[in-house]
Structure 1
Amino acid sequence: MSLIEHQVPFSIGESVSGSVPDPDAARHFVPYKMMEDFIEQNSDIELIAHIFEAFPDSRRFYVNVPPSAETYEIEKMDFGKNADFTQDDLAPSELRLLMYKIQTKILKCAADRNNADFIDIHESLVRADGFLRDAFTQHDPTHANQDFGDAMLDVILTQVEATR
């Protein structure tokens, strides 16, 4: 989420302090709540409800998506032949992490509305700042690898067993 800022760089106001980005930063300001509403309206929240409705007697779990990796080189990524992205088009780390936190909040609320247990990413899989550990990346900023999947499967099975 928010990997590329092509074409208009932006910042999100902080929800707690209500802060506005530095006007000299040459970034457009988007209020936190406006971004939260936009992400919710453009997510697959309804799909979650439909899946759960299809299995009314099942135990419900929603596994959060992994955060992005912080560092990567855009030149190593495949955006297709017509992509015109450069390293300068990448969203700042702080913005990507904030948008991930907004997305996680929305998905947790959706799980709660559907009486599902929300399984978040285990703290051992992310760095202290919240980004995915390099050992769990698929050598691109948005996809986790098999080791991540194996570790999350252990987390899922542990939580499922704990709720029996």
Structure 2
Amino acid sequence: MSLRSTARSKASRTRRSNGWKRSRFNVPGTGRLRADRLRTLAADVICLSLAGNDHNVLGLFEHSAPFTLGDLPDDGLDRVRIPDCVMRSQLEHRMRPVVERTRPVHRIVADRQIVHICPPPPDPDAAHMEADPKLFGDIVHRGVAPDPLRLRLYRLQCAIARRLAGKSGATFLPPPGQGCNDAGFLARDCRNDDPTHANARYGRLVTDQLADLEWHMQ
């Protein structure tokens, strides 16, 4: 089994009127491919990188009504305290459309190894994110949310993704250890120039993980 035969796909949009068969997946070297044509790929391993930004949408920058989660310590602000189970349900609701679109993929390529790649952890550098907020420019004035809150949101999402991968019979690939700092945030040398993505170094660490994973799957 060769890493070269690994096709990495990322879910895109679905036209409601045509159902899941109209779902498009970005496949490097192949372009945009309909879900029902994934079986034509000469690949032993299908890697899905899905729904990675929901934790950022909910809590990268402060909400208009600042909140905190579960048993996180107070930070002196008047925050709404939301139980972890409630936020978990909200994340599951946000992730459900992508999950539903990928269910047929698991059936179509049931003879291949499927890997769900965990999104990169949040960036701990507030100044870096505020300097170039990209799509979050209209709310950057609220300030970056507290580190413990952002990390809790990320870990809740990862736990959901891990469970969904298991239910689908897929392998869940956690973030690479070298791509994280001691606290579990994105390592400084792995951050990109925007608030939510990792860089090419992080990508190489993930491909190293995949190579090692393939070795054990042979």
Q: Give the shorter-chain TM-score range.
A: 0.7 to 0.9
Give the residue type in structure 1 aligned to 2:210.
Answer: I
Give the residue type in structure 1 aligned to 2:69.
Answer: I
Is residue 39 from structure 1 mapped to residue 91 from structure 2 by the alignment? yes
**More strand by proportion, 1 or 2?**
2
Q: Which of 139, 143, 155 matches 2:197?
A: 143
Aligned to 1:74: 130
Q: Percent identity?
A: 24
Q: Which of 60, 63, 69 matches 1:12?
A: 69
Deviation at 1:133, TM superposition (A): 0.4
8 Å Cα contact 1:70/1:93 also seen in 2? yes
More RCO (CA 8 Å, sep 6+): 1
Q: Taking structure 1 as the reference length, what is the TM-score of the superposition?
A: 0.87
Give the direction of change, closer, same or farther, for the CA distance of 1:41–1:77 in structure 2 (3 Å limit): same
Q: Taking structure 2 as the reference length, what is the TM-score of the superposition?
A: 0.66
Gaps of 5+ in 1: 14-18
Give the residue type in structure 1 aligned to 2:66.
Answer: P
How many residues get paired?
157
Gaps of 5+ in 2: 1-55
Give the direction of change, closer, same or farther, for the CA distance of 1:147–1:22 in structure 2 (3 Å limit): closer
The CA RMSD over aligned residues, in Å, is 2.0
How far apart are the structure 1 equivalents of 2:208 and 2:196?
21
Deviation at 1:80, TM superposition (A): 7.2
Please identify runs of 4+ aligned residues in structure 1 that moved more than 6 A: none
Give the residue type in structure 2 aligned to 1:85.
Answer: V
Deviates more, 1:104-113 or 1:60-69: 60-69
Deviation at 1:75, TM superposition (A): 3.0
Q: Which of 148, 155, 173 matches 1:119?
A: 173
